[in-house]
Structure 1
Amino acid sequence: MGSSCTLRALGAILHRFTNGVSSKCPNSMALQWNGLLSRKLSSSSSISSLPSWISTHIHGSATVTRTIWTVSPLSMGRRSSKIAGRKGAQDAKKAKLYARIGKEVVSAVKKGGPSPVSNTALATVLEKAKELDVPKEILERNIKRASEKGQEAYIEKVYEVYGFGGASMVIEVLTDKINRSVAAVREVVKDCGGKMADSGSVLFKFRRARVVNVKVSDADKDQLLSIALDAGAEDVIEPPVYEYDTEEDMSESYYKIVSSAENYSTILSKLRDEGVIFETDNGSELLPISTIEVDDEALDLNKELMSKLLELDDVDAVYTDQK
C-alpha cells in the first residue's frame, strides 16, 4: 500500500524538477459562487445579468427577498472524467455512514443501556439513523454488539493533513483504540508523501453544516432550487463545470443543498414529497470555506491519499479543500 503512494509522490517531485514549472496552467480561470443563498450582491450590470432564482415573502410591513444565484463553478483544462469509480465511491460512502452510525449506537448503549426509553443518547442516535435511512438490522446488530465482552465505547478524533499542491485535508475518526487509529493514519500519510498538520492549522479552513447531496441526473435544477428556497436552505452549491466534461461526467456530479440542523428534516421531507432521489450526510459534513485548484499531478496524488485513508476501518470521512 505504501510503496505505490511513495513512488507516485517521488514521480511528481521529479516531474517538477525536470520541467522547471508546475503543470498548472497559469491562465486557467475559475468562477465559483459559494454562499449562493441569501447573498448580498452589488447591483452592477455584470451581477444583475446573472441567472437567478428569486423568492419574495411579505412579513407584516416588511418584504423579504431571498435569491439563489445559479452560476456554476467553471474550471478550464481538466476532465472530471479522470475521477474514476464514482459509483464505487458512493457505495463506500454509504458503507462508512452505516459503520459510523453503528459505532455511535455502541457508544450510546455502553453509556446508558440498550433501551431508548431510558437512554436519551441512544434515542438521539436512533432518530438520526431513521433520518439517514440506515437499515434496522444494522442498528439491532450493534445494540447487541455493545453488550459483548471486551467491546469498548468509541471516541471521536480529528486529524489534519497537508496534501499536495497546497491542498489540506481533515480526517474524521471514530475509534475504540486511539493508539491504533493515529498510528494507521500517520503511516498512510507518510507512505503517500503527505504531512500531518498540527491541531487547528487546517480545520479553520472548513465549516460544518448539514448537507443533502442530489445527483444532477436525478433532479431538475429549477425544481431543486425552488425546494431549497421553500425549505429554508442556507446554500445550494452546484458541481464544478470542466471544459472537457462529457454528458456522462455531468450526470454523475452532485448538487449540495446546505442546511442548518433545524431545517434539515424539512428539506428531506420536501425532496421525498417531490420524488427527488437524494443522499444524506453522515450527520454533518465539513465544507471548505474556499477551494484550491491544483494541477493534475497533485489532484491524482491527493485522490490516492484520500482513498488510502478511507480504506482504514477507523476513518469515517475525509474532507479536502481541493477543487
Structure 2
Amino acid sequence: MAGHSKWANIQHRKGRQDEKRGKIWTRCIREIMVAARQGGGDLSANPRLRLAVDKAKAANMPADTIKRNIDKATGNLEGVSYEEIRYEGYGIGGAAIIVDTMTDNKVRTVAEVRHAFSKNGGNLGTEGSVSFQFRNVGQLILAPGTSEDMVMEVALDAGAEDVIASEDGAIEVLTAPGDFEKVKEALEGAGLKPEIAEVTMRADNTVDLTGEDAQKMQKLLDALEDLDDVQEVYHNAEIDEE
C-alpha cells in the first residue's frame, strides 16, 4: 500500500523528544510502576512491563533505578500510586488529540490539561469524542532506503497486519498489540532495525496543517507534552512548519 510522506514528521518528533530528555525518565518510571502494579514484576510474564523497561533502557536509565521502581510498584518498597486517565480533545483545524496521563491527583491533572487546550486554541472534549478515529496498534517504522520487499516478507511471515510504504520511502509496519514484540524481533533478527518501534494509538485519517496553523498546533502539542502528568500525546495532524 502507498502512504503519504511521514519521515519528516517522524524526525521532527524525535528531535523534540530529545530536547525534552529530562522528562523522559519521569514518564518511564511512571509507566514501569503502573505496568508492574497491574501485571506483576516478572518481565517474562508481563509484556507491558517489558516494553516499559525497553523504553527506559533506550533512555539510558540505570538498571538499579528500573529495579527499584518495579519493587516500589509490586509492594517491596513504599511508593506513590498513580492512576491512568485518558483525555480527548480537538486542536487546530479540528485535529483530533488523545492525551494519556498518569496522576496521583485527578483534579490537578484535568485542570492543567483543560488549560493547555484552551490557552492554545484547542478544546477539551468528552470521553469517546475522538478516540473512535484511532486504533491501538503496534507500529514499526523503518528509514527510507530499506528494502520494502524484504520488510514485507519478514513482517508478514511474523504476523504483521500491514506494511505501508510512504511517498518518501519510509516503511511502516502495523501489528496487533499482542504481536508487536514477535514482529519486532523478526525484523531485527533479519537486520532490519526500526527507527520507531512502539505500541501506539494510530489515526485512521490525518489532517494536513501548514503555515500558521501548523505552528499553532505544534505549540498546543508542546504545551500538553510539557505537563508533568502527561505520558503520551497522540494526534492525527500532519504538521508542515516550512
- By the TM > 0.5 criterion, same fold? yes
Deviation at 1:235, TM superposition (A): 1.7
CA distance in 2, matches of 1:208, 1:109: 21
Residues 310 and 317 of structure 1 are in contact (CA less than 8 Å); yes or no, is this contact kept in structure 2?
Answer: yes
Q: Give the 3 Å change call, closer, same or farther, for CA 273–96 of structure 1 in structure 2.
A: farther
Match of 2:161 among 206, 209, 234: 234
- Would you say the 8 A contact 1:164–1:194 is kept in 2? yes
Task: Work out which of the two has the higher radius of gyration on C-alpha atoms and give 1 or 2.
Answer: 1
Name the counterpart of 2:188.
272
**Matched residue, 2:50:** 127
The aligned amino acid for 1:312 is L
> Could you list the runs of 5+ residues in structure 1 that have no partner in the other structure?
1-68, 242-249
| In structure 2, C-alpha distance between the alignment counterparts of 1:195 and 1:299, rounded to whole Å | 16
Offset at 1:84? 8.1
The change in CA–CA distance for 1:138 and 1:226 in structure 2 (over 3 A counts) is farther
In the TM superposition, residue 99 of structure 1 has moved relative to its aligned partner by 4.1
Question: Which residue of 157, 162, 165 corresponds with 2:93?
Answer: 165
Q: In 2, distance between residues paired with 1:271 and 1:171?
A: 30
Partners of 1:203 and 1:318 in 2: CA distance: 12
Alpha-carbon shift at residue 102 of structure 1 (Å): 2.0
Q: Distance in 2 between matches of 1:159 and 1:259?
A: 25
Distance 2:154 2:22 in 1: 28
Identity of aligned residues (%): 29
Which structure has the highest helix share of the two? 2
SS at match of 1:293: strand
Taking the aligned partners of 1:300 and 1:195, their CA distance within structure 2 comes to: 17
Aligned-residue offset at 1:144:
5.1
Distance 1:93 1:285, change over 3 A: farther
Query: What per-residue deviation string (whole Å, max 9, x for no partner) do you get for residues 256-315 of structure 1?
Result: 31101332222111122122222321xx21111222223432222111111121111211
- 1:231 and 1:267 in contact (8 A); partners too: yes
Alpha-carbon spacing, 1:96–1:224, altered in 2? closer, same or farther (3 Å): farther
Q: 2:134 aligns with which of 202, 206, 209?
A: 206
TM-score by length of 1: 0.60
What is the Cα deviation at residue 180 of structure 1? 1.9
Verify: 1:286 aligned to 2:213, yes or no. no
- Cα deviation, 1:210-261, whole Å, max 9, x if unaligned, reads 11232335x333322222222221122334x4xxxxxxxx58xx53311013
In 1, Cα distance between the equivalents of 2:211 and 2:33?
Answer: 41
Query: Are 1:306 and 2:221 matched, yes or no?
Result: yes
The amino acid of 2:91's aligned partner reads G
From 165, 172, 175, give the equivalent of 2:103.
175
Report what 1:297 is aligned to.
Answer: 212
Closer, same or farther: CA 236–165 of 1 in aligned 2, 3 Å: same
Instruction: Give the secondary-structure state (helix, strand or coil) at the position aligned to 1:200.
Output: coil
For the residues of structure 2 that align with 1:207 and 1:289, how far apart are their CA atoms?
7
Report matched runs for 1:2-41 at 5 Å: none
Query: Corresponding residue for 1:222?
Result: 149
Q: Is 2:111 aligned against 1:192?
A: no
Task: Give the distance between the partners of 1:295 and 1:97, measured in 2 at CA.
Answer: 28
8 Å contact kept, 2:89–2:130: yes
- Looking at structure 1, the residues matched to 35 and 185 of structure 2 have their Cα atoms a distance apart, in angstroms, of 27
> Aligned with 2:191: secondary structure?
coil
The residue type paired with residue 291 of structure 1 is T
Aligned to 2:236: 321
CA distances 1:60-118 after superposition (whole Å, capped 9, x unpaired): xxxxxxxxx3x23269xxxx8699855423436887775444224334666798x649x
Asked if the contact 1:172–1:317 (Cα under 8 Å) also holds between the matched residues in 2, the reply is: yes
Structure having the larger proportion of residues in strand: 2
Paired residues for 1:14-163 under 5 Å? 69=1, 71-73=2-4, 85-91=12-18, 99-107=26-34, 116=42, 123-129=46-52, 134=57, 136-143=63-70, 145-146=72-73, 151-163=79-91
